[in-house]
Chains A and B, each alone.
Chain A
Amino acid sequence: MRESTVMFLHYITAILIAVTGLIHLLANNEPTIGPLIKENPVVYMGNMAIFLAALLYHAFNGVRVILIELVPDPCWTKWISWAVVIIGIATYVVGLQVLLVALGLV
């Protein structure tokens, strides 16, 4: 994947975090719209799944950027990127599982 695609997604996920994070906050704190979102498991779970994905992508890509700047060796750059992808996917799977259990969907 081209670096511009990775970084473009980094900016997109930043917007997604703000939007889905706001929906999450409304669902849990707003008395009028909140219950409407929370009562619909598909909307709430969908929002949380996107929020988690965006958050993890943004965070892990940030870590990758810091690491490749600190260890600029081209060989290490490749390894760091792959390690971050694998850890990111694993964390997402665990996070989704926790969410599903917490919402009583599994």
Chain B
Amino acid sequence: MSTEAKEYTLPPEVLEETVKASEELWKPIKKVKFRIYKYNPKKDYAPHWEEYELEVSKGMTILDALLEIKGEKDHTLGMRYSCRMGLCGSCAMMINGKQMLACQTRVIEAAGDGDVIELRPLENFPVTRDLATDFTSFFEKHKAVKPWIIRDEEELDNPTGPYKQTIEEYAKYYQFTDCIKCGACLSACPTAATDYEYLGPQALAQAYRYLVDSRDNGLDERIAVVDVAHGCWRCHFAGSCSDVCPRGVDPAQGIQLLKGLIIRRKFGFKPHKPTEALPAKIAKKKEQ
């Protein structure tokens, strides 16, 4: 049998069509004006707006446009980005007044029938420079809810086997694992706009995610963090966080479930009995 790799080529008509579609996608079709918030807290007395005009194509994202502006028109433009595929959450910003990821938003879609796009840094975050914001407090709040599996046993340090988890147990928290910490939810939250001590939708949803994880045993530790004056009870269920989440996570639902869990705990109900590591479980069954 020959081990030589066989070379596959697309049929000429398919190849031609693909090239044509690609050309169509990147062909400039419209001129769009970008109105961008500019502010350097170290230098500027007050923020101001700058306008840049670009020829945009069908496939161009806001991030592509910003990189073009930075490369060709204004080298001083400050922004944050990394993966360019909606996974890292670095490029979240206010696009025409709504929290969105710059890498996942097409210019044509954002502009709609108009030809002006307004870009601002995320609300409820201090500005580092232009479109980049300071996430220190956001990550501190995330860390405060202890976003890791808490087990008071030897198994975590010296694991002997995996923890078994059923599909039903996994489904309880699955959607909250999709959070990319882009900050869009905290930026949209009306409570966070005035209450800077408020833990925020991201941290609270993550607290719920770990509380209902069948492997976790940190109920008391975590509830002591979220059941405080500026904790989960400050959520008034506006639902803006869920509305803007680019990953389709529903933090507002997580917070309501968290409130229910705390109230049920007052009457002695616990979300689950922490699961055992698989070999320990097998050993026990063998003993029986």
Chain A interface (Cβ < 8 Å from any Cβ of B)? 2-8, 65, 68-70, 72-74, 77, 81
Contact A72 B228 (CB under 8 A): no
**In the assembled complex, which residues on chain A have CB atoms less than 8 Å from the CB atom of B233?**
3-4, 6-7
Does B24 sit within 8 A of A, measured CB to CB?
A: no
Tell whether B65 is near chain A: CB-to-CB under 8 Å.
no
Q: List 19 A-B contacts (CB under 8 A).
A: A2-B227, A3-B229, A3-B233, A4-B227, A4-B233, A4-B262, A8-B266, A68-B195, A68-B230, A69-B195, A69-B198, A69-B234, A72-B194, A72-B196, A72-B197, A72-B198, A74-B229, A77-B229, A77-B230
Chain A residue numbers with a CB within 8 Å of B200 are none
A74 smallest CB distance to B (angstroms): 7
Contacts of A6 in B (CB 8 A): 233
Q: Judging by beta carbons under 8 Å apart, are B263 and A8 in contact?
A: yes
The complex places the Cα of A2 from the Cα of B263 at a distance, in Å, of 11
Whether B124 sits at the interface, judged by CB under 8 Å, is no
Q: Is B231 an interface residue (CB 8 A)?
A: yes
B interface bracket (residues with beta carbon within 8 Å of A): 10 to 19
Q: Which residues of A contact B263 (CB under 8 A)?
A: 4, 8
Chain B residues whose C-beta falls within 8 Å of the C-beta of A68 in the assembled complex: 195, 229-230
Give the secondary structure class of A's interface.
Answer: helix
**Do residues B198 and A4 form an inter-chain contact, with CB atoms below 8 A?**
no
Chain B positions 232 through 271: 1 when the CB is less than 8 Å from some CB of chain A, otherwise 0:
0110000000000000000000000001001100100000
A74 and B197 within 8 A (CB): yes
Flag whether B217 is at the interface (Cβ < 8 A). Answer: no
Going nearest first, the 10 A-B pairs with the smallest beta carbon separation are A72-B197, A69-B195, A72-B195, A7-B233, A4-B262, A4-B227, A3-B233, A77-B229, A69-B194, A3-B227
Residue among A6, A68, A70, A72 having the largest count of chain B Cβ atoms under 10 Å? A72
Complex: chain B residue closest to A10, CB-CB:
B233
Query: In the assembled complex, which residues on chain B have CB atoms less than 8 Å from the CB atom of A3?
Result: 227-229, 231, 233
